[in-house]
Amino acid sequence: LAVGVVAAVLQVVLALARAASVGTAMSPSVVHGMLAAIGVIIISKQSYTALGVQPTAKEPLELLLELPRSMRHANPEVLAIALVSLAILFLLPRIKARWARMVPAPMLVLAIAVPMALWFDLDHSHTYSFLSSEFSVGPQYLVQLPGNLLDAVALPDFSVILSPVSLKYVVMFALVGSIESTLSVIAVDSMDPRKRTSNLNRDLLATGIGNLVSSLIGGLP
């Protein structure tokens, strides 16, 4: 958390120094490469959540290599929720009806996935049979939220912030977070039909302030 706070302050300083404007000189291929890399990392990690399987690998490429073997051990009920959710996310935007454009796909996913989880009784640990195989489900497949939001608040500890390890991650968080923010804004601008351009320094300033508040109360950047 202390690293997050100091890195966020650095992001604010970079924004005030108008350093984010350098992002306009970056090649579009850099933007595409960054977004593709983020997509691969997310897919490699979230696929196991969708399958209801605990992987042994940790790195993205190793997770992808382990995926075919893990698919054979997928938990049917967890996988059913994932497949229905993905189907809604991919198919709803293709429906031309007016109501489909008015309802955000992620909201519809929640409206269906939550009742499915209740129907499968994921609140309580139990086993069930499917195609002559036994599977276990329970609260470990649910997002765990604190009973009281204040219980999730944690304050940063700055006692070792000047250590080499801390300083390394401060620089890494600040630079990677700033570059990602800038490239994401450029990517969004490229999709704007009216070809408007965003203020990169204002976006980086907002990102830095958001990261600062988040880290001060126990949140991730």
The tens digit of pLDDT for each residue in 87-117 reads 999 999 899 888 888 889 999 999 999 999 9
Q: What is the pLDDT of residue 189?
A: 87
User: The tokens 């300033």 sit on which residue?
Assistant: 205
pLDDT score of 154: 92
Is the pTM here over 0.85, yes or no? no
pLDDT of residue 101: 83
Residue 29 has pLDDT above 90, yes or no: no
User: What does residue 127 show for φ and ψ, rounded to 5 degrees?
Assistant: -115, 155
Render pLDDT for 182-218 as a digit per residue (tens, 0 to 9).
888 888 888 888 888 889 999 999 999 999 999 999 9
C-beta atoms surrounding 216 within 10 Å: 17
Instruction: Say how many residues make up the chain.
Output: 221
Measured between alpha carbons, how far is 196 from 56 in angstroms, rounded to an integer? Answer: 45
Identify the H or E element spanning 134.
Answer: strand 133-137
Instruction: Give exposure, 47-60, as e/b (b: 16+ Cβ within 10 Å).
Output: bbebbbbebeeeee
